[in-house]
């Protein structure tokens, strides 16, 4: 279940924390691979579903506290995204089995522009 929706203006770097949630007693060292795709949602999402179209693969990096990761979409890539809701679809591979991680949601908004000073 998605609890927080982070908002980012289109064209900004998107960086969202993903928490490590050990369902079966796994540790960070047990994870063989972690992947994340950004999926478009035409509504405010409560969870990720397979019918949400994939927009792009994301960059993933470990957090310093060893409790999870940061999922990142670079500014040049986010500038091409349509406005709306998106979900990070996170998948962990542990011992050859793929587990769906806790999803995170974002909303891409129109960037704020400043009026030229007169």
Give 57-91 pLDDT, tens digit per residue: 998 988 876 678 899 999 999 999 999 999 999 88
pLDDT value, residue 100: 80
Q: 């928490």: which residue's tokens?
A: 19
Q: What is the pLDDT of residues 94-117, one digit of tens each?
A: 888 888 878 899 999 998 876 666
In the chain, % of residues over pLDDT 70: 90
Give the whole-angstrom CA distance, residue 43 versus residue 56. Answer: 18
Nearest CA to 86 out of 38, 28, 33 is that of: 38
Tokens of 5: 């929706």
Predicted pLDDT at 9: 96
Show the domains of the chain with their CATH numbers: 5-109 (2.60.40.10)
Reference 20, options 72, 64, 85, 74; nearest CA is 64
CB-based contact 45:23 (threshold 8 Å): no
What six digits make up the tokens of 13?
A: 């770097």
């Amino acid at each position: 279940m998605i609890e927080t929706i982070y908002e980012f203006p289109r064209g900004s770097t998107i960086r969202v924390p993903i928490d490590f949630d050990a369902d079966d007693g796994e540790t960070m060292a047990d994870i063989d691979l972690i992947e994340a795709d950004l999926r478009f949602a035409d509504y405010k999402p409560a969870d990720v579903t397979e019918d949400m179209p994939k927009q792009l693969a994301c960059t993933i990096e470990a957090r310093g506290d060893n409790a999870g990761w940061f999922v990142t979409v670079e500014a040049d890539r986010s500038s091409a995204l349509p406005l709306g809701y998106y979900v990070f679809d996170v998948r962990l591979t542990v011992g050859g089995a793929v587990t769906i991680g806790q999803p995170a949601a974002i909303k891409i908004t129109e960037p704020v522009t400043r009026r030229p000073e007169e």
